[in-house]
A and B are shown apart, each in its own frame.
Chain A
Amino acid sequence: MSKLWKEFSKGLWKDLPPFKVVLGLCPVLAVTKTADNGFGMGLAVIFVLTMSNVLVSIFRKIIPPKVRIACFIVIAASLVVSVELLMQAFAYPLYQQLGIFVPLIVVNCIILGRAEAFASKNPILLSAVDGLGMGIGFTISLTLLGGIRELFGYGTLFGTRIMPEHYKPFSFMVEAPGAFVCLGLMLSAMNIFTSWQARRKGQAVLDNPGHECRSCGICSR
């Protein structure tokens, strides 16, 4: 049981896909204009990731090692097509919002990364739990990023107006550069938090290079 929990929880913080291992950045940057979009994309990824992990784990003994990447992609692609069809049937507005990024889940490096690094070496139950944890971590990150961008860029959260009436939307956040800036700020915030945590536990922390005047030597102060 504790092993299952360990595999599940590493996707939530230790190996959090977009922020800790910085994988799957394409949807992180592209579909997080609103919290809704991020959440929907995350759900699709949870489904594909868990199922592909299970399938890869089932077939791990019979997949020839030399063509394993192609096999993983075939498995992921079939799952993504089924997700796409399901979305068209039951969540068409979301499908229109996400557009090309639903088919692009196939080449999302989290799917391939978990299949290669975990599912192809571990039994079915562990792989399923691993995929579920990673997917949930991914969904939380996307929803959080989408929520921040939506809150400042449109003044709303999940479509409800949060900001006061005279708030002028900071549209930079929902444009493409806003995604990069927001992701960078969140990564730096995570780094600050991690080093603060390490310092509290008394572990060694990587410090920034020195900024004394003599390390530069340009001016004559």
Chain B
Amino acid sequence: MKPLSGSPVFTVSVPPHAHCGRTFKQDALGTIIALLPAAAFAVWHYQMPAVRVLALSCFTAVLTETICLYFMKREIEADNYTALLYGLLFGFLIPPAAPWWLVVAGSFISIFMGRMIFGGQGTNPLCVPLVGWAVLTVSWPDLMDFDMTMLASELTYPLSQLKNFGPETLDEYPIKSLLLGFQLGGTGAVQTGAIVLGGIYMLARKIIRPDIPFAFIAGVAATAAIFYFIDPFEYASPEYHLLCGATLFGAFFLATDGPSSPTGHTPMLIYGFIGGVLLVIIRIYGMYPDGVPFAILLANLMTPLIDKIKPGPFGGITSIHVRSRS
């Protein structure tokens, strides 16, 4: 029987039917806006090299995403700002003096191996920019070393100073100058004050939930405080672990990456705390000066396990059912 024209037609679709209006595009755009102050600080400190690295990284990321989607015969949705966001995040992590091919290679590997190979948007098991960072650090450690590549800069890298000369060198870095970004490190990752501003903006806009960043910061502070309490002359104090290097950048922007972090409050808290603890342990015992990327990668790998902590379904099988059945 053919439906008469004008008669009501029922559309059948899968749930959920009600939406709150949040889209990937809005969230990614909000995160990019939150990153802009840090980018501005990076340009202030490093001038054109920072602009060059960030622009090249963003361009390569979007181009890679477009090409991959084209070859996957999928709708080209590289305009939803997520690839741009990952490119920007990757540019924040590498030294401003990195050669152009390093930026291009890292940005390409991030998007291709960290994201598109797993199926694109929302499928990455690891935080996308960290994949590229890790591959580059394993391959070309000398070019990713902030001290080696930035010899011309007057700034110094507090974490390698801490590793090589002990915590008394940290007295050269007053907290205010650390907040203003007077330290060597990833292009935008060490602009601590601007990163905090961006983080507060994201929390206020509810782009991220506060659980992961605060658990991450608590993990860093607690572990660093334990070590500081054991021997204040051997280990740095918690506030320096928080303000030096990419700690806060990791807490607000990398650890909160949607697909690679757990859902639910308790898992989020556990995940963030594990990341923070690992960060300080890697900084103190590891061979790399900054442990943020590796700590977050390891925490990402634990995500499926942590995600098992979840409330049972309403009316689902509980232990009472199992016991009565047997």
Contacts and interface: CB of A to CB of B under 8 A. Distances in A.
Contacts of B44: none
B13 A214 contact: yes
Contacts of A221: 23
Interface string A156-180: 0000000000001111100101000
A171 B140 contact: yes
Contacts of B143: 168
A177 B135 CA distance: 9
A213 to B, nearest CB: 8
Interface in B17-49: 19-24
B3 interface: no
Contact of B22 (A169, A170, A216, A219): A219
Contacts of A184: 117
B139 interface: yes
B139 A170 contact: yes
Given A211-B74, A211-B120, A214-B14, A219 B135 contact: no
Contacts of B16: 217
B179 interface: no
Contacts of B15: 217
Given A181-B113, A211-B119, A211-B120, A217 B14 contact: yes
B138 interface: yes
Contacts of A217: 14-16
A211 B118 CA distance: 13
Contact of B23 (A169, A211, A220): A220
Interface string B59-95: 0000000000000101100000000000000000000
A186 to B, nearest CB: 13
A218 B14 CA distance: 11
Interface residues of A, number: 19
Interface string A189-221: 000000000000000000000010011111111
Nearest to B101: A168
Contacts of A218: 122
A220 B138 contact: no
Contact of A220 (B22, B72, B117, B135): B22
A173 to B, nearest CB: 8
B14 A219 contact: no
B211 to A, nearest CB: 20
Nearest to B24: A219
Contacts of B122: 216, 218
A214 B143 CA distance: 44
Contact of B138 (A172, A188, A219): A172
B293 to A, nearest CB: 14
Interface string B119-157: 110100000000000010011100100000000000000
B14 A175 contact: no
Contacts of B74: 211
Contacts of B140: 168, 171
Contacts of A219: 19, 22-24
A91 B192 CA distance: 57
Contacts of A170: 139
Nearest to A218: B122
B139 A171 contact: yes
Nearest to B137: A172
Interface in A63-120: none
Contacts of A177: 138
A12 B13 CA distance: 48
Nearest to B120: A211
A221 B135 CA distance: 35
A212 to B, nearest CB: 8
B116 to A, nearest CB: 12
Nearest to B143: A168
A220 B72 CA distance: 23
B139 A172 contact: yes
A214 B19 CA distance: 13
Q: Which 6 A-B pairs have the closest CB atoms?
A: A220-B19, A172-B139, A171-B139, A219-B23, A172-B138, A172-B135
Interface of B: 13-16, 19-24, 72, 74-75, 113, 117, 119-120, 122, 135, 138-140, 143
Given A171-B140, A214-B14, 8 more contacts: A172-B135, A172-B139, A181-B113, A211-B72, A211-B74, A215-B14, A217-B15, A219-B22
20 contacts: A168-B140, A169-B139, A171-B139, A172-B135, A172-B138, A172-B139, A184-B117, A211-B72, A211-B75, A211-B119, A214-B13, A214-B14, A215-B14, A217-B14, A217-B16, A219-B19, A219-B23, A220-B20, A220-B22, A220-B23
